[in-house]
């Protein structure tokens, strides 16, 4: 969406997920993440359960509260304050879980009202596909700890726009308290969660320091910050493996997402870490 200023493939998430599921036999498929303000939970539950059935239980359901103001404005949708959007996401997650369950749903919240809807089909994975909730602020990460199966760490962008501030507020220093916010929400179930990080700057190179120095001024951080940044991975395959293992030890991250443009170069890292 040009006005939003947010780079993307332009593909619609729902049919793309089904196409990917149909073209593969073992790979899991998922979105990172679907903005709940753009789809009613009843419609989304039907779409996602259908994909889970046709993929024989390979779906991961990624959900977010929305954050890019220009995206909302371009579509004429009100961009509510973050607490309202997060409360709406919380209701949507509760409603989705009910719709994936048995029997007609009766739900009356502040944002959604549903009476007598019996979600169908039921997903292949029971009680529901793994739910991924992503975000960078305290409230949404506490919600993710409480309700999700996979928690996806993201930039904290209170301005509602893409800016260097997001990178600056997501360095290693800012990531440690994010894990504690997840723990606060999760309580006793923390050890059952998977922690995911989106690695937006993935560069396989033998000159990690030189690349980091060239990038760091763009974002207003040091080269060392860039090399250790949870949303950046710069280095050789061996160096990248070592860094990912360090991050798993430091933050408990066991799940990473990279951009499609880095997939081929990143393949040796996947091969070396498979099963670890």
219 lies in a domain?
no
* pLDDT reported for residue 183: 97
d(C-alpha 63, C-alpha 53), whole Å = 19
pLDDT of residue 261: 87
The answer to whether the pTM exceeds 0.85 is yes
- Which of 199, 261, 266, 196 lies closest to 231 in space, CA to CA? 199
pLDDT of residue 157: 65
Q: How confident is the model at residue 259 (pLDDT cuts 50, 70, 90)?
A: confident
Q: What is the pLDDT of residue 47?
A: 97
Mean pLDDT score, 258-274 = 90
Cα–Cα distance measured from residue 133 to residue 152, given in angstroms and rounded to the nearest whole number: 6
Does 266 score more than 70 pLDDT?
yes
Tens of pLDDT, residues 212-253:
999 988 889 999 999 999 999 999 999 999 999 999 999 899
CA neighbours closer than 13 Å in the CB half-sphere of residue 117: 22
* DSSP track, 77-134: -----HHHHHHHHHHHHHHHHHHHSSS-EEEE-SS-EEEEE---SPPSSSS-SPEEEE
What does residue 246 show for φ and ψ, rounded to 5 degrees? Answer: -65, -40
Q: What is the mean pLDDT of the chain?
A: 91
Does residue 81 lie in a domain region?
Answer: yes
User: Is 162 inside any structural domain?
Assistant: yes
Structural domain for 41, as ranges: 13-198+252-258
Can you tell me whether residue 202 is helix, strand or coil?
Answer: strand
pLDDT in tens, 50-66: 999 999 999 999 999 99
Distance CA 269, CA 274 (A): 8
68: pLDDT confidence band, cut at 50, 70 and 90? confident
| 230 HSE (CA, 13 A, CB side) | 32
| Domain assignment present for 101 | yes
Provide DSSP, 91-107.
HHHHHHHHHHSSS-EEE
Query: Which pLDDT does position 6 carry in this prediction?
Result: 54
pLDDT reported for residue 159: 56
pLDDT band at 155 (very low <50, low <70, confident <90, very high): confident
In a domain, 156, yes or no: yes
Domain count, the chain: 1
In a domain, 243, yes or no: no
CATH of the domain at 135: 3.20.20.30
Please check whether residue 236 lies inside any domain of the structure: no
Range of lowest pLDDT (139-148, 224-233, 256-265)? 256-265
Q: Is the pLDDT of residue 17 over 50?
A: yes
The pLDDT of residue 4 is above 80: no
pLDDT of res. 8: 56
3-class DSSP state of 215: helix
| Whole-number Å distance between alpha carbons of 276 and 270 | 10
256 has a pLDDT exceeding 80: yes
144 has pLDDT over 70: yes
Instruction: Taking residues 115-126, report their average pLDDT.
Output: 96
pLDDT at 158: 59
Residue 144 lies in a domain: yes
């Amino acid at each position: 969406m040009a006005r939003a200023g947010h780079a993307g493939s332009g593909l619609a998430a729902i049919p793309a997920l089904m196409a990917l599921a149909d073209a593969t036999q073992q790979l899991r498929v998922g979105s990172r993440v679907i903005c709940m303000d753009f789809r009613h939970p009843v419609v989304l539950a039907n779409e996602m359960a259908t994909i889970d059935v046709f993929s024989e239980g390979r779906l991961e359901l990624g959900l977010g509260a929305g954050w890019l103001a220009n995206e909302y404005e371009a579509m004429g949708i009100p961009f509510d304050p973050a607490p309202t959007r997060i409360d709406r996401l919380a209701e949507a997650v509760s409603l989705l879980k009910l719709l994936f369950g048995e029997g007609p749903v009766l739900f009356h919240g502040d944002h959604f009202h549903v009476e007598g809807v019996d979600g169908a089909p039921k997903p292949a994975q029971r009680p529901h596909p793994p739910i991924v909730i992503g975000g960078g602020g305290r409230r949404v990460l506490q919600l993710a700890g409480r309700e999700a199966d996979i928690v996806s760490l993201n930039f904290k962008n209170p301005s509602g726009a893409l800016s260097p501030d997001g990178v600056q507020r997501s360095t290693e220093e800012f990531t440690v308290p994010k894990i504690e916010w997840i723990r606060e929400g999760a309580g006793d179930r923390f050890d059952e969660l998977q922690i995911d990080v989106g690695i937006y700057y993935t560069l396989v190179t033998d000159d990690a320091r030189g690349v980091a120095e060239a990038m760091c001024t763009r974002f207003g951080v040091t080269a060392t910050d860039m090399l250790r940044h949870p949303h950046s991975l710069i280095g050789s395959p061996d160096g990248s493996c070592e860094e990912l293992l360090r991050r798993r030890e430091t933050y408990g991250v066991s799940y990473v997402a990279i951009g499609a443009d880095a997939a081929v170069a990143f393949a040796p890292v996947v091969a070396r870490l498979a099963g670890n």
